[in-house]
């Protein structure tokens, strides 16, 4: 479990955006993601994951539990823009049967399938350091490392 207390803000469907400035360096993993209020690890919407050693590769994932109970995931990686340079706006539009990922106002990826979450979720913005997924911090990392957040916005349609 990710936490022991019920999240204080959760929503079902809508749009999420965050304007962030991300750190570079091996072993840093800034992320913007969503988890269900049940605090289970499935489903999960990864709006942005960035490996600090690959600052021009934006990772986006959708995780869910399959009918057989096994964890499933789909992912997409986009590259070409160094996300550690300047401020960037990342987000998703989440609706029944669809999740659409955006970066700086441009659509990056979409999933339109049954595995799209249909339960309330909360939003997490964090900076992880090291771990099995990305390895230890590199010599190029300057501490204290930080992920800067200018603003976070969540919208919902009035008829929801």
Q: Which of 17, 44, 112, 146 is catalytic?
A: 44
Residue 59 burial (CB < 10 Å; 0-12/13-18/19+)?
Answer: middle
* Residues 122, 115 contacting (CB under 8 angstroms): no
The C-alpha atoms of residue 47 and residue 88 are separated, in whole angstroms, by: 13
The C-alpha atoms of residue 63 and residue 61 are separated, in whole angstroms, by: 6
The C-alpha atoms of residue 93 and residue 122 are separated, in whole angstroms, by: 14
Q: Which of 17, 49, 76, 107 is catalytic?
A: 49
- Identify whether 44 is a catalytic site residue: yes
Ramachandran bin of 69, using left for φ above 0, alpha for ψ from -120 to 50, beta for the remaining angles: left
In sequence order, which residues have a C-beta less than 8 Å from that of residue 21 and are 6 or more positions away?
Answer: 84, 86, 87, 88, 147, 148, 150
Active site (catalytic) residues: 44, 49
């Amino acid at each position: 479990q990710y936490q022991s207390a019920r999240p204080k803000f959760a929503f079902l469907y809508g749009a999420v955006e965050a304007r962030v400035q991300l750190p570079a360096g091996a072993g840093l993993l800034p992320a913007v993601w969503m988890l269900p209020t049940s605090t289970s690890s499935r489903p999960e919407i990864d709006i942005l994951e960035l490996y600090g050693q690959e600052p021009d590769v934006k990772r986006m994932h959708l995780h869910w539990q399959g009918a057989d109970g096994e964890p499933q995931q789909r992912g997409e990686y986009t590259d070409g823009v160094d996300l550690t340079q300047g401020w960037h706006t990342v987000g998703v539009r989440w609706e029944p049967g669809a999740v659409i990922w955006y970066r700086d106002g441009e659509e990056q990826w979409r999933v339109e399938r049954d595995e799209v979450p249909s339960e309330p979720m909360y939003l997490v913005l964090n900076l992880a350091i090291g771990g099995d997924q990305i390895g230890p911090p590199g010599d190029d990392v300057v501490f204290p490392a930080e992920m800067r957040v200018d603003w976070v916005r969540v919208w919902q349609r009035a008829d929801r």
